[in-house]
């Protein structure tokens, strides 16, 4: 057999799968045993090149939109043969779910930290974040219209970027839904504990605080030479030499919400709708009473100065404010339970985002007008705090109750979202089949719901919420970047009646103008970062990386006339990402590294696309 003959044998078709290629490689290798040394080396190089080619192909293999839609139409939703899911959600239900997911721990807790850093000007951060989420919501809407199945950003990335990127997104979404729910559950626990105290019920501190939170407070006190005898970590009971400190209320609410998500979407829908109406009513009362107090008591002077710490102070609240917007995309995971997903999903995402933006801006103006922004330092319940400050304790108590309701609704929507992501990944073979199992009676992803509940419930007993907030924001923004970028890779189609279609706005000239304007506004920071690049911290290095990537994106947009909306979605989300503390990036990269290990050890081999010739 000549060298040329053997080399030609390795010119496999583009769609050749890895497994088949591997078998042919083994056969050809065995036929080389009698060749001279140099010829063996040539053939071995060809073999290695083909193996590398097959590996790259396996990482970038994609699902076609047509195949996904065909599977959905045929009801191929459960390998166990238990049929599809209940299609009962309308645009009103989906909008309420979006509001339920967004209006929660953010407005009742993290808004205080953002107001302390940015003052009344924090409303502009809400506007910036809303615009960013708006660009992303339109991109989600485009995908939801074309790919109306469960899976959210995971499925959308599988269609546009390929399998490995889809896996990375699915892994990152665990940060948004599962890890994000830890933050919400801890916030819920704090407000619930306040309600119990109002009724004279006092839980021991070691049953209402996470172990990590208590340990961090203890270590900080030691580091600063402060007394530790009265701290929780010093007073907590011990079991087998370990401090017994858990957040029991947080664990209980996660268990209750997981049970509700397990027994059916119909029950979850009605519960979410009821909770949304209640908390919107309370927020309307807060706005009316708040503005009445501001103008009747003459406290509008608290709005001056509007930017006490400049835009730098405003931008310090990026993580907290963005966390307040997380959730509007969660409704895209319920696509297979919608009556008309291609029409209702896009509309509901946009409606819920608009409603929440108005609520956030009004609320931020109210709390910064009623009391001075400096008073929000360390305040974890800002809405209840401002009304107790002006001796409206009954309204403050009502706010605490509504905060519990709001946090419960967020937990519910997120606990609905996470199992449906895992269900989609299981269908594709990237996770074990159990995660895709649909309950025979309740028509929900039962196994995935149980695992999700256990994951959140166990962690919420011990962890602290501060790092979790940053991780949730960075994981979500990462997903948003890829969804927005994925729209650029979709083929253009004619607008169809009854379906959402993302309007095309040529960004050829607009994006370069925006980029140059950004450089001019931040010229001092750019110059300082470049001048002191050798001594800069991670945060400024991230800023320079953003400038470079944004410049590359601008050049591609100019050369290829990319659509304005998805490009702005990518750039805005990238900018918000680099404003998140660098230590969170290190943890994020570690999390992504762990995810890639799981993919290469299991998902890459078990993927259903691996068996397609």
pLDDT of residue 569: 92
Helical segments of 298-340, H only: 310-315, 318-325
Q: Is 13 helix (H, G, I), strand (E, B) or coil?
A: coil
Lowest mean pLDDT among 303-317, 510-524, 540-554: 303-317
Q: Which residues of 39-72 are buried (b: 16+ CB within 10 A; e: fewer)?
A: eeeebeebbeebeebbeebbbebbbebeebeeeb
CA distance linking residue 88 with residue 100, whole number of Å: 18
Please determine, for residue 77, whether its predicted confidence score (pLDDT) is greater than 80: no
State the pLDDT confidence band at 4, using cuts at 50, 70 and 90. Answer: very low
Structural domains in the chain plus CATH codes: 3-60 (no CATH), 85-210+249-489 (1.20.1740.10), 212-245 (no CATH)
Please determine, for residue 513, whether its predicted confidence score (pLDDT) is greater than 90: yes
pLDDT of residue 498: 64
The larger pLDDT score, comparing residue 612 to residue 580, is at 580
Please determine, for residue 76, whether its predicted confidence score (pLDDT) is greater than 60: no
- Residues 48-74, mean pLDDT to the nearest whole number: 62
Q: Highest-confidence range of 339-343, 395-399, 429-433, by mean pLDDT?
A: 429-433
Exposed/middle/buried for residue 362 (C-beta within 10 Å: 0-12, 13-18, 19+): middle
Please determine, for residue 571, whether its predicted confidence score (pLDDT) is greater than 70: yes
pLDDT of residue 11: 41
Percentages of the chain per state (helix, strand, coil), in multiples of 5: 75, 0, 25
- Residues 569-594, mean pLDDT to the nearest whole number: 86
pLDDT of residue 611: 64
CA distance linking residue 441 with residue 218, whole number of Å: 49
Which token pair is 81? 């043969």
By the 8 A CB rule, do 443 and 83 touch? yes
Sign of CA dihedral 475, 92, 356, 287: negative
By the 8 A CB rule, do 375 and 255 touch? no
By the 8 A CB rule, do 452 and 422 touch? yes
By the 8 A CB rule, do 552 and 517 touch? no
Q: What ranges make up the beta strands (E) of 417-490?
A: none
pLDDT of residue 150: 62
CA distance linking residue 545 with residue 561, whole number of Å: 23
Please determine, for residue 291, whether its predicted confidence score (pLDDT) is greater than 70: yes
pLDDT in tens, 548-560: 999 999 999 999 9
State the pLDDT confidence band at 563, using cuts at 50, 70 and 90. Answer: very high
Q: What is the mean pLDDT of the chain?
A: 78
Q: Is 542 helix (H, G, I), strand (E, B) or coil?
A: helix
pLDDT of residue 57: 65
Residues of the chain above pLDDT 90, percent: 12
- Residues 103-119, mean pLDDT to the nearest whole number: 77
CA distance linking residue 197 with residue 140, whole number of Å: 43
Residues 6+ apart with CB under 8 A from 297: none
């Amino acid at each position: 057999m000549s060298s040329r003959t053997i080399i030609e044998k390795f010119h496999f078709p583009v769609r050749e799968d890895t497994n088949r290629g591997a078998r042919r490689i083994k056969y050809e290798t065995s036929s080389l045993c009698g060749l001279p040394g140099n010829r063996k080396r040539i053939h071995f190089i060809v073999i290695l090149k083909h193996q590398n080619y097959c590996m790259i192909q396996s990482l970038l293999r994609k699902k076609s939109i047509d195949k996904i839609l065909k599977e959905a139409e045929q009801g191929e939703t459960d390998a166990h043969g238990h049929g599809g899911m209940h299609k009962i959600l309308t645009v009103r239900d989906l909008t309420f779910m979006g509001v339920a997911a967004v209006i929660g721990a953010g407005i009742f807790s993290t808004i205080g930290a953002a107001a302390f850093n940015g003052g009344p000007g924090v409303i502009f951060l809400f506007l910036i974040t809303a615009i960013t989420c708006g660009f992303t919501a339109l991109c989600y809407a485009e995908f939801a219209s074309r790919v109306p199945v469960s899976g959210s950003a995971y499925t959308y990335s599988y269609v546009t970027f390929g399998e490995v990127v889809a896996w990375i997104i699915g892994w990152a979404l665990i940060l948004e839904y599962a890890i994000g729910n830890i933050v919400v559950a801890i916030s819920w626990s704090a407000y619930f504990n306040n309600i119990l105290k109002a009724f004279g019920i006092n839980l021991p501190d070691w049953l209402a605080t996470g172990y990590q939170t208590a340990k961090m407070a203890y270590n900080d006190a030691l580091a600063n030479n402060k007394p530790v005898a009265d701290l929780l970590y010093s007073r907590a009971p011990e079991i087998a030499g370990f401090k017994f400190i858990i957040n029991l209320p947080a664990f209980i609410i996660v268990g209750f919400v997981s049970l509700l998500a397990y027994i059916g979407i119909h029950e979850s829908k009605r519960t979410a709708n009821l909770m949304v109406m209640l908390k919107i009513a309370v927020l309307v009362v807060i706005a009316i009473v708040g503005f009445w107090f501001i103008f009747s008591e003459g406290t509008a002077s608290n709005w001056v100065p509007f930017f006490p710490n400049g835009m730098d102070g405003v931008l310090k609240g990026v993580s907290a404010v963005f966390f307040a917007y997380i959730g509007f995309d969660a409704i895209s995971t319920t696509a297979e339970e919608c009556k008309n997903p291609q029409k209702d999903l896009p509309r509901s995402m946009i409606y819920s985002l608009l409603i929440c933006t108005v609520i956030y801006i009004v609320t931020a103006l109210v709390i910064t007008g009623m009391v001075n922004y400096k008073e929000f330092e360390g305040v974890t319940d800002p809405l209840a705090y401002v009304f107790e400050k002006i001796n409206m304790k009954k309204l403050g108590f009502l706010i605490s109750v509504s905060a519990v309701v709001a946090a419960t609704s967020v937990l519910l929507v997120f606990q609905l979202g996470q199992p449906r992501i895992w269900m989609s990944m299981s269908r594709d073979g990237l996770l074990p089949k159990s995660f895709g199992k649909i309950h025979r009676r309740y028509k929900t992803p039962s196994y995935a719901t149980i695992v999700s509940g256990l994951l959140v419930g166990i962690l919420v007993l011990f962890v602290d919420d501060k790092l979790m907030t940053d991780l949730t924001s960075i994981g979500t923004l990462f997903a948003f970047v890829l969804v927005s970028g994925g729209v650029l890779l979709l083929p253009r189609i004619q607008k169809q009646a009854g379906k959402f279609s993302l309007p095309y706005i040529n960004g050829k000239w607009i994006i370069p103008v925006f980029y140059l304007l950004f450089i001019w506004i931040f010229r001092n920071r750019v110059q300082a970062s470049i001048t002191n690049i050798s001594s800069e911290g991670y945060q400024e290095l991230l800023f320079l990386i953003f400038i470079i990537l944004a410049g590359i994106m601008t050049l591609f947009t100019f050369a290829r006339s990319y659509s304005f909306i998805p490009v702005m979605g990518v750039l805005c989300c990238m900018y918000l990402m680099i404003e998140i503390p660098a230590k969170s990036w290190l943890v994020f990269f570690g999390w992504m590294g762990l995810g890639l290990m799981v993919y290469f050890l299991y998902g890459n081999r078990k993927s259903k696309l691996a068996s397609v010739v």
